[in-house]
Structure 1
């Protein structure tokens, strides 16, 4: 490992030890996943929470809370017993930015179709994959089966397009990694294959660290940032995502403070 990478790893590890803790999760839609000890419920909570994870965080939290409260504590039971008319009626007044009640109802009925066919979202994701190595293929399989049941709108991103698919990779981080923050559950997928969820905060951090020079947070940008972190943490390139993105989201943790801490012209990663 080059001296520059060692220096950066040391700083990132300090941030990980300080901020990769549950006390820093709120506000973050990840918070909702802690309510579901059964992975079969957690994956449903995760795909709904990540699907709505865009816009102001306070509004995200409100939208996710509204949906999950209506579904009740047994998410899998709710989905498997879902009737299109009842679900449509239940969420007819739901609206969050571009997402409507119709989109949400279609997503729920699509999740039922996935579970009917595969037994779980995780089983659908990993079908015919060696250790879940092809993320795009697994994400596309879930999306394709969901969309057959109805128009879920933008709630599930298309992994075959050029976008960074931030929300999809956020969902995978939650479900694959397991530490003090990420609850995991999909233990048959190695963390080493994950891609960084690149939001506005991680986009700025990727530029700050010299991992990317892209002008937009697209799929190429996400791959470049992930590769930068992979040189530091080959087995877990998404390890530092949570602690780094607390800056700019949590009160008292701003990007200027992070820049001062990480600033070093000799990393040469």
Structure 2
């Protein structure tokens, strides 16, 4: 098993006795498949084969930045081009084919070259190891920690020096929310996360830290850091790990419905949190 990551000197003063039942209640109420939309995770349910799903998940998570309407539109466009089996599309193609297929593609800062480079990286990984899951297994085998495994995985797909707006590199310090989201989808298995990978266990995962989760974590007292970087993501993960060490990202989906869905406001969650954190929020 990969060595666990450790964050900064700060340690959250988590009242497990009060927060654990609260978070379990939130999980029970909101970790439901009917609450997924609008979330790019919904695309993964169209693919029963893991070899297809892991490619769809990488595409959907990589495009998960910006306005949600545009995210869903961009993911849908890419998948429509790939046909019924994204795996077959990748292993049968090459750079010249993908350049033609995605000519003119644009999603905010990401253009066709980013998408083509990502496909080239996926094709290389599949040629070498057979799947993205086995690519991650090899990355973990060659490194000493889950974090280093994440870095090696991203390096193999994109290159350590080359930048690609679709795939963040953990070694540069950002929270890498999209990559951590991808790992959550592929590793966890419950009513929401479809799973399929065996290279990582849920205990290896890091919370996909975006603006919503950062706010929630600060309100819960899980971090005092204002910078939403990878160190903060690990710190928040460790705090959740005090409640469920085997599955610290378990509550991510349910909590982040607040502020993402129009019918679930973040302030409503904060009102529920107040009695659990001493009556103050902020």
Question: TM-score with structure 1 length normalisation?
Answer: 0.93
Cα offset, 1:14, TM superposition: 0.8
Q: Where does residue 26 of structure 1 map in the other structure? A: 37
Give the unaligned 5+ runs of structure 1. Answer: none
Judged with a 3 Å threshold, the aligned counterparts in structure 2 of structure 1 residues 63 and 8 are, in CA distance, closer, same or farther, namely same
Q: Determine whether 1:265 maps to 2:261.
A: no
Instruction: State the alpha-carbon separation in 2 of the partners of residues 210 and 54 from structure 1.
Output: 26
Cα offset, 1:154, TM superposition: 1.6
Instruction: State the alpha-carbon separation in 2 of the partners of residues 168 and 244 from structure 1.
Output: 19
Q: Where does residue 59 of structure 1 map in the other structure? A: 70
Cα offset, 1:188, TM superposition: 4.1
Q: Determine whether 1:201 maps to 2:212.
A: yes
Partner SS state of residue 65, structure 2 = coil
Alignment of 1:114-153 (within 5 A): 114-127=125-138, 129=140, 134-147=145-158, 153=164
Instruction: State the alpha-carbon separation in 2 of the partners of residues 145 and 129 from structure 1.
Output: 12
Question: TM-score with structure 2 length normalisation?
Answer: 0.89
Instruction: State the alpha-carbon separation in 2 of the partners of residues 97 and 186 from structure 1.
Output: 30
After superposition, give the CA deviation of every residue in 1:6-58 in whole Å (9 maximum; x if it has no partner): 21111111111111010000000100111111111111011111111111111
Partner SS state of residue 125, structure 2 = helix
After superposition, give the CA deviation of every residue in 1:58-84 in whole Å (9 maximum; x if it has no partner): 111111111011101211100001122
Q: 2:266 aligned to 252, 255, 262, which one?
A: 255
Kindly tell me the number of residue pairs found equivalent between the two proteins.
Answer: 265
Q: 1:159 aligned to 161, 170, 175, which one?
A: 170
Q: Determine whether 1:74 maps to 2:85.
A: yes
Cα offset, 1:92, TM superposition: 0.8
Q: Where does residue 182 of structure 2 map in the other structure? A: 171
RMSD across aligned C-alpha pairs, in angstroms?
Answer: 2.1
Q: Where does residue 210 of structure 1 map in the other structure? A: 221
Judged with a 3 Å threshold, the aligned counterparts in structure 2 of structure 1 residues 249 and 115 are, in CA distance, closer, same or farther, namely same
Q: Where does residue 242 of structure 1 map in the other structure? A: 253
Q: Any conservation in 1 of the 2:140–2:146 contact (CA below 8 Å)?
A: no
After superposition, give the CA deviation of every residue in 1:95-124 in whole Å (9 maximum; x if it has no partner): 000100111011112111110011111111
Cα offset, 1:141, TM superposition: 2.5
Q: Where does residue 233 of structure 1 map in the other structure? A: 244
Q: Where does residue 111 of structure 1 map in the other structure? A: 122
Instruction: State the alpha-carbon separation in 1 of the partners of residues 52 and 125 from structure 2.
Output: 14
Instruction: State the alpha-carbon separation in 1 of the partners of residues 62 and 270 from structure 2.
Output: 30
Instruction: State the alpha-carbon separation in 2 of the partners of residues 3 and 134 from structure 1.
Output: 25
Stretch deviating more after TM superposition (80-89 or 23-32): 80-89
Judged with a 3 Å threshold, the aligned counterparts in structure 2 of structure 1 residues 213 and 121 are, in CA distance, closer, same or farther, namely same
Task: Work out which structure has the larger RCO, using CA pairs closer than 8 Å and 6 or more positions apart in sequence.
Answer: 2
Stretch deviating more after TM superposition (182-191 or 111-120): 182-191
